[in-house]
């Protein structure tokens, strides 16, 4: 499928950059990448071509310290302007839109609901939101004081050089509420859960964005993008993605697992004339089962119980000799045992030059305690 990515605000622009960098050279899935922000300096730091950057909001009297409600108003005012900026590309050729935004701030969160609504009105395509949730230390200076919670860290927020954002939790909750009924689905990435001990949010930013972008690329590039290589035996297309993500603003978590595999062998043991290695069915099945298990039960973009998911999507990729039908079918059954047989789709994504078998897992309609934690922080603020 072909995806149009739009980054809004500082966090959204950085994520859009990372997704652009993660696009496989031999398996294109991006129609265009655009970045929108009120700050010209943020736009200049991106690697997106200048024709696909757009600054908005000048002369409105709204600055970075204004509250989210004013930013919602600004989003309504400038939504059509942003749609016109998209015409520098080919938005009508996209199978879906992905709007990337950081929910802790006001710029992206304030603009996203209006832009999503405008995209839904103008184009006959799904509009997904890729939303990062703020870390506790961004809005709670005492978040690291103890070591008792599931997201506790070892470095106090007071030791960070990042300015506090006391309204970050409230902004996230309010924006999610606005997106309800507008976004086709909301893919969440929880910054707090991805911080390592001693890391600040800025320390982790590039690594976290790469992790998130890699998962996005594995799902959407594995779903029938433009490939110069072997064709998948079971292609996941835009309608399949839409069926799993839905159109009712489901909360979505992404999982990923991989394993290095041996792809070449040398004749006569002399290191000469490398050839494609024969792969036993049992070996391929074992590798696929391993990466699917990592994808489902490993680190998700949003902590949740996979069994709460209403639907699931599995993309298994890697060297074609490792992707026999039985191996992929076994992987799909492994996901079905968690999510349920009626709500799972699966496909393969051949990567002839790859040396890794991977599984990208989409869990749609999940329930997460993390969202309730942010609501509680909002109520306590």
Alpha helices in the chain (DSSP H): 9-22, 40-44, 68-86, 107-122, 136-139, 168-179, 191-194, 201-220, 238-245, 281-297, 325-339, 369-380
Q: How many residues does the chain have?
A: 381
- For 260-291, the pLDDT digits (tens) are 998 865 555 555 555 566 888 899 999 999 99
Q: What whole-number distance in Å separates Cα of residue 346 and Cα of residue 360?
A: 10
Tell whether residue 81 is among the known ligand binding residues. Answer: no
Q: In this structure, which topology does domain 3-227+369-380 adopt according to CATH? A: Rossmann fold (3.40.50)
Tell whether residue 209 is among the known ligand binding residues. Answer: yes
Q: What whole-number distance in Å separates Cα of residue 211 and Cα of residue 256?
A: 9
Domain with CATH 3.30.1330.20 in the chain: 252-364
Contact status, residue 8 vs residue 36, Cβ threshold 8 Å: yes
Confidence of residue 231 (pLDDT cuts 50, 70, 90): low
Contact status, residue 179 vs residue 186, Cβ threshold 8 Å: yes
Confidence of residue 232 (pLDDT cuts 50, 70, 90): confident
Please state the pTM of the whole predicted model: 0.91
HSE, CB side, 13 Å, CA atoms: give it for residue 378: 18
pLDDT of residue 199: 87
Tell whether residue 338 is among the known ligand binding residues. Answer: no
Q: What whole-number distance in Å separates Cα of residue 320 and Cα of residue 357?
A: 10
pLDDT of residue 277: 66
Q: What whole-number distance in Å separates Cα of residue 214 and Cα of residue 294?
A: 15
Tell whether residue 175 is among the known ligand binding residues. Answer: no
Q: What whole-number distance in Å separates Cα of residue 82 and Cα of residue 59?
A: 16
pLDDT of residue 37: 95
The segment with the largest mean pLDDT, out of 160-164, 186-190, 234-238, is 186-190
Q: Which residues contact 221 (CB under 8 A, 6 or more apart)?
A: 23, 24, 27, 28, 29, 349
Helices and strands in the chain: count of H runs, count of E runs: 12, 14
Tell whether residue 138 is among the known ligand binding residues. Answer: yes
pLDDT of residue 153: 41
Closest among 367, 372, 94 to 252, alpha carbons compared: 367
Neighbours of 380 (CB within 10 A): 8
Confidence of residue 148 (pLDDT cuts 50, 70, 90): very low
Q: In this structure, which topology does domain 252-364 adopt according to CATH? A: 60s Ribosomal Protein L30; Chain: A; (3.30.1330)
Tell whether residue 106 is among the known ligand binding residues. Answer: yes
- State yes or no: pLDDT of 151 exceeds 60: no
Domain with CATH 3.40.50.1440 in the chain: 3-227+369-380
């Amino acid at each position: 499928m072909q995806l149009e990515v739009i980054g809004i605000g500082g966090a959204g622009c950085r994520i859009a950059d990372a997704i652009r960098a993660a696009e496989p050279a031999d398996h294109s899935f991006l129609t265009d990448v655009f970045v929108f922000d009120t700050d010209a300096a943020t736009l200049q730091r991106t690697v997106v071509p200048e024709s696909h950057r757009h600054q908005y909001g000048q002369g409105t009297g709204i600055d970075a310290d204004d509250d989210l409600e004013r930013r919602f108003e600004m989003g309504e005012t400038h939504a059509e302007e942003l749609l016109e900026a998209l015409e520098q590309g080919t938005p009508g050729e996209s199978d879906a839109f992905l709007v990337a935004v950081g929910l802790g701030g006001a710029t992206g969160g304030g603009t996203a609901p209006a832009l999503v609504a405008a995209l839904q009105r103008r184009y006959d395509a799904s509009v997904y939101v890729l939303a990062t949730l703020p870390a506790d230390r961004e809005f709670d200076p005492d978040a690291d004081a103890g070591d008792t919670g599931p997201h506790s860290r070892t470095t106090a927020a007071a030791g960070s050089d990042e300015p506090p954002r006391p309204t970050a939790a409230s902004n996230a909750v309010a924006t999610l509420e606005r997106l309800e009924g507008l976004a086709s689905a909301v893919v969440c990435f929880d910054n707090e859960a991805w911080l390592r001990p001693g890391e600040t949010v800025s320390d982790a930013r590039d690594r976290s964005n790469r992790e998130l972008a890699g998962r996005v690329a594995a799902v959407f590039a594995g779903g029938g993008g433009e490939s110069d290589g072997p064709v998948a035996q079971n292609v996941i297309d835009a309608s399949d993605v839409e069926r799993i993500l839905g159109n009712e603003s489901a909360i979505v978590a992404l999982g990923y697992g991989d394993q290095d595999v041996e792809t070449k062998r040398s004749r006569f043991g002399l290191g000469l004339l490398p050839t494609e290695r024969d792969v036993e069915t049992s070996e391929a099945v074992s590798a696929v089962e391993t990466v699917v298990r990592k994808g489902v039960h490993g680190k998700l973009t949003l902590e949740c119980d996979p069994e709460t998911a209403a639907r699931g999507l599995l993309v298994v990729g890697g060297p074609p000799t490792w992707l026999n039908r039985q191996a992929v079918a076994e992987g799909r059954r492994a996901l079905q045992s968690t999510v349920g047989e009626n709500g799972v789709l699966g496909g393969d994504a051949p990567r002839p030059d790859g040396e890794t078998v991977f599984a990208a897992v989409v869990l749609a309609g999940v329930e997460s305690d993390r969202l309730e934690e942010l609501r509680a922080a909002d109520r306590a603020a």
